[in-house]
Structure 1
Amino acid sequence: MVEKIVKSKLVNFLVADAQVDYDTVSDLYSVAECGDVDAVADVLEAFKEAYGGLWVGGKMVLSQTAVRLSANLMNRIVQEGTLDIELPLAMVRKVSVEGGFVTKIVRLDTDAGSVKFRCFGAKDIASLIEKMIISPASILTR
């Protein structure tokens, strides 16, 4: 049986072990005639140091049992690391919304740590996830 998708959304998610392949990025910059990649590399590495990871663009899929985050093709081309995350809803202990620039951040806390993703409509997504954790059956009967 195929699991029902409750919600799907474009997001950026924070990945602690994300590594940018600067050789590939440099090649892309050369083809596009965008300049030198060193300036971008310095900013990204400083950001990673300050925030504990890099934001990876992709998609969030909320199913009946899990939140799945997966990187888009462009990020898969230029980055390495954990580009797919599957977090069973049963592991989520707390759902919160944090401030952010332009978009808010959904934070899912577990006993092992937290998963963060940012998107438009973050408050609504956080509320939906929280409802599913508290009473998954009520969401599925809609």
Structure 2
Amino acid sequence: MAEKIVKSKLVNFLVADVEVNYEEVGNFYDSVGAGNVNVLAGVMEAFQQAYGGLWVGGSMQLTKTALHLNANAMNRLVQDGTLDIEIPLGMIKSVCIDGGFITRIIRLDTDAGCVMFRCFGAKEVVALIEKMIVPRVSLAVLKRVL
């Protein structure tokens, strides 16, 4: 990504196809004496079924042409699946704030589906994205105006 970054934030983003490498997590649990990884596995799998994915920690970079979501090093170590997402701003149909606990959830509706991420300062991020996305005007509407 060589483009100038307009905004960067630490975020968590919801990923449907992410899978936790419980062997790697189990090794960490054994090293620090944290307990049984099977308990964590049960909770994570229940959460994934209930919410359609897992929250992945990382960062968001907004450029003039795209929004990038990238997993942090810890998540890359223990998870497999989609750990990087790039959304061209031209694909974003709408952006809004959903609920959330402590941090608010930003939902981007795109041509390919819905992408959600959460961060502090969500209202400011939403306002900036709304300002940057190009309004979609159909040719039929444009012809009527002209």
TM-score of the two chains, using structure 1 as the length reference? 0.92
Structure 1 residue 134: deviation in Å? 4.0
Q: CA deviation at 1:123?
A: 1.1
Partner residue, 2:142: none
Q: Which amino acid aligns with 1:29?
A: Y
Residue 114 of structure 1 pairs with residue 114 of structure 2: yes
Partners of 2:126 and 2:51 in 1: CA distance: 21
> In 1, are the aligned partners of 2:5 and 2:63 still within 8 Å (CA)?
yes
Structure whose CA Rg is larger: 2
- Residue 28 of structure 1 aligns to a residue in which SS? helix
Q: What does residue 126 of structure 2 align with? A: 126
CA contact (8 A) 2:97 2:106 kept: yes
- Note the 1:1-142 alignment, pairs <5 A: 2-134=2-134
Calculate the TM-score normalised by the size of structure 2: 0.89
Gaps of 5+ in 1: 136-142
What is the RMSD computed on CA atoms of the aligned residues? 1.0
Once the two structures are superposed, what CA deviation does each residue of 1:47-95 show, in whole Å capped at 9, x if it has no partner? 0000000000000000010000000000000000000000000000000
Q: Is the 8 A contact 2:105 2:117 kept in 1?
A: yes
Paired amino acid for 2:40: V
SS where residue 5 of structure 1 aligns?
A: coil
User: Helix, strand or coil for the counterpart of 1:130?
Assistant: helix
Aligned partner of 1:138 in structure 2 is none
The aligned amino acid for 2:60 is M
Where structure 2 has 5 or more consecutive residues not aligned to the other structure, the ranges are: 136-146
Aligned length: 134
